Every structure is written in C-alpha cells, then in structure tokens.
Structure 1
Amino acid sequence: MTSTRTVPDTAHRVTVTMADGVADVRLNRPDKRNALDPAMFEALVSTGERLKTEEGVRAVVLSGEGPDFCAGLDFTSFEAMRDGQRLSGLAALPPSDGPAQAAGQRAAYVWAELPVPVIAALRGNALGGGLQIALGADIRIVAPDARLSVFEVAWGLVPDMTGTQLLPELVGRDVAKELTFTARIVGGEEAARIGLATYTADDPVAAALETAGRIAAQSPHAVRASKRLLDLAGRTDLTTGFAEEQKEIGALIGSPNQAEAVAARFEKRAPRFTDI
C-alpha cells in the first residue's frame, strides 16, 4: 500500500514528498530557473540535514520544478560580486562539523553525506552551482537535451561548491580541467559518455523515481553499508577498504533484514524489511 506525505520547507525553496521510502526532493523556484540565492542555500542544507535522520527514508530523488534543474547562482549574486560582496555568506546556517563549511559547499555536499542513495534527475539547465549540487548525488540521470556546464570561469570565478574535488573522480582530472577551463556546455548524451552523468532518459524524474523505488525495496541496511564502502573507494588505502568490507559483511550476516532477504527469495515473495 502506497503511503505519501508532503514535508514543507519553511523557506518554500525546496519541497519534499515522501512515498514508500522515497523522498522526492525538488528545488522550487521555477520562475527563476531554480537559481541559487541565500534562501535556496538555506533550504537545501536544512532539507538535506533533516533527511539524514528522517525515519523511513531509503532513497532520495533530487530534481527541479519546471523545465530546469538549476541554472546556477541568482543574477543578484553576480551583481553583488562586482562590489566585492558574497551573498551566499548571508545564508543563515548552523555550524557544521563536516568537511564542507561554506554555504555553497554544504548545499552540494549534504547530499553526499546522506546515508542513503541520492539520485539527481536533470532536465534543462544544470549550470555552475546547479551542476555542483548534482555532483553530490550518487547517481545522475539526465535528459538527452539537458545542458550541463562547469560555468564559473565564464563569470571570472572558480567552482567553489565542492566541484573541484568531486568532478575529477567522475570524469578524470584532464576532462575536469577541460570542462572547467572552457565553461563549455555539455549535452546529456556527451555527459553520459564522459562520466558526468550515469545515463540518459527522456523523462529523468520518472526514471529516477523508478530506480529509487527499486533501491527502497532492498534491505536498507545492506544498501547503506554498500554506499559507505563504495564512498571509500579511491579515498582510503586498500588495507582499510578491505577491512571495512569485512566489518560491514560481519554486521549484516544473520541480521534480521539479511535473514528476511534469504527467506523472501526462497519463498518467492516480496521481502518485508525494517528500517530499525
């Protein structure tokens, strides 16, 4: 039986709808192409932080209302920069003990910090800061005609929302440099070919929700452990990585959800997992 509920954001910049373990998160400023302003930074961070501990969340889909995912910074931010001001610094956020400290970094990296898989669904423009937010997701599904760009250099800037650190992991250091130095716009098909996107879909939101539903139907403890292990790859030495594998598998074998997975397969029925 489907269970749906809507969780409003106080800034109205982000909406969250929960259904069957999937959090459907949407940037909600379509009249401005979901551009980033202080209120949007606040909403993204507060939403991500809330979902870290939200009971029953097994997967997250991150998209934008309207035709675009996120066109980057609001134009007022660039106007302020001419006078040496940084409007993202006006975002009212509580202190963070994570690696990301600046508001823009936290708005992007909070999705990487979620213990459950995050799938970004990209339509239309995903430029500059918008693309960097998508980099915080585990999976990126893009429309073939989407427009993606590391656009900061066109404004005389550098990617400062974690992009310089996360992008090379996806596309390689040389491709990351080429994209960053030129600010060229990449279509969805090329994005998938170079590793900037996972794959393309004519309706990326529907595809993301379908994938999230399949994830949510798996053992939540196994999925979370898998994400923890895969996020270590390339970021720690092999001795540590292999040891963590054994730690995770040791915790899973014989656990209630693992026993239920085995029983369901033998009995040829849908498993009934718990989140506790």
Structure 2
Amino acid sequence: MDTPAPSDSPQPVTPAFLNWPLRDLRAWVRHLLRAEVPVLASTAQALEALRAREDDIGPADLSPVLRADPLMTVKFFAHVATLRRNDDATETESITSALVMTGITPFFTHFGPQPTVEERLRDHPAALEAVQEILQRSERAAHFAMAFAVHRSDTDVDVIHEAAFLHDFAELLVWCHAPALMLKIRQAQAGDPALRSAVAQRSVLNIELDDLRQTLLRLWHLPRLLIRISDGKHADHPSVQNVVLASRLARHTMKSWDNPALASDVEALSRLLNASPRVTLAFLHKVDGSATA
C-alpha cells in the first residue's frame, strides 16, 4: 500500500474529532500524520519544570520523562529521524542516546509547551478513562516483556521492553482523535466477549490498529529493531513472540486471572520459555507480584 511520506505533510494541527470511520489505512495514516500528537499532562508538566533549569540538566534527567509516555516517546523518535542524513547508517536505539545526539537546548527549542491528552479529551471522560487503562496495560506489558526477555537471556532486553510499552500507542492516538468510534468497539466487545479485537476494529474503523501502528512506526522512521520486534504479524522470531505474548497477557490479566484466553497464552509462553505450563503460570504470578509489591 502506498502511504504518504511524513515530509509531505503540513505542520501538525488539532483536527476535529472523527465521528465516522475513514476509508482505509492510507486515509487514517494521512489524517494522523497531519495531526498534532498530544502527550500526557504529567509529561507536559515535567518538561516545563525541566525547561526552567535547562542549563543544569542532561539526558539522564530528561530521558525518564520521555520514556514514561508512549506518545512522547514516539513523537521524539520521529523528530530524531528527521535529523539524520539520508546516508547516515547510524541509528539511535535508545532515548538517552538520541538525546545525546540532539542536545538538550535543541530539544527544548523544537518541543515547546505540549498539547495534552487530558485537555484533548476533557469533554470525553469515558475516553480518558480508557486511555488511562491502556497506559496501565502498557506498563504491565513492558514489565512482563522484560521478565520474559531476562529469563531467555535475550540481548535486546531494553528494546523488547520499549516495544511492549509502545505496542498500543496507535490505539491511544485513535482514542484521542475518534473517541466515539473507539467506544463503539469497546461496547461491541463488552456485548460479545468472544469478539476478537481485530474483527471489531475492522468493522468499526475499516482498519486493524496493528497495521496502523506498524505503518506509523515505519513512516516516522523509528529504530529498525524496534519496528521489527513490534510486528506481531510476523511473530516467527522469539523476540517478537516475547512482545506479542507480553501484550496479550497484559490485556487478558488486567482485571483478573480468569480470562478464558489465558490458557492458550500460557501454553504459547511455555513454549517460548521452554517450561511446562504449570511452571510458566507460576512464573507469571511471580512476575505480576513483583510489579505490585
């Protein structure tokens, strides 16, 4: 599918909410490339506090703020990609190394006071509640993913952690721009617990959010390793399976451990970890307990 290049897009704007689905993936991508990406209010506030002492801080002070917000992370990496020369084969794969490359003052020069998700959705409390739930799920997925990667002695632990944390950033964006449509999906799945997310998304949005995520990651030129590990439709690599299973388990255990989909998740994870399902389930409970301790 041909998709518009970021450089062809006008300056970001804050479009009206979408109450009707766009035609296809290309239309969704074009719309979101033109739209301003909001960040969490806590991120915007933290950035302004750091801006006030810009001369006294370094990448180690700024990177935790960016890393805690999936939307700000994607927004920053997309900016970093525009600074690389076309013939530059070097690719920064961490927020800290990217900040070292950009510099603190240029960062604040480019990123002024940020629009926030909370302001964008101030009249849509149900959507804002959904966003908060997705953020909690993203943190949970990242925690699971890191534990699985460490257990497997994977050399890309940090990227796997980041990929799991960013897994649902496209869903966050669509909640910010089409809350009514996303509520339709949520209501459809509440009425039919067996309804798969991908099916509901195609029915309401005319796209799957996984496809939207991967297309935006590529067009915003995020690190290649991060894009590859995020691609759940090509889950033949253990690192990809790690991220996919961490995201599924985070979704299926958010509210309880009684989700009927959990059994197949545990079976798949047991194969990845080379352990029995009983040992794998015990390991999952241990990992979950360490996150809430």
**TM-score, normalization by structure 1:** 0.26
Asked which structure has the greater RCO (Cα within 8 Å, sep 6+), the reply is 2
**TM-score, normalization by structure 2:** 0.25
- The structure with more helix, counted as a fraction of residues: 2
- The structure with more strand, counted as a fraction of residues: 1
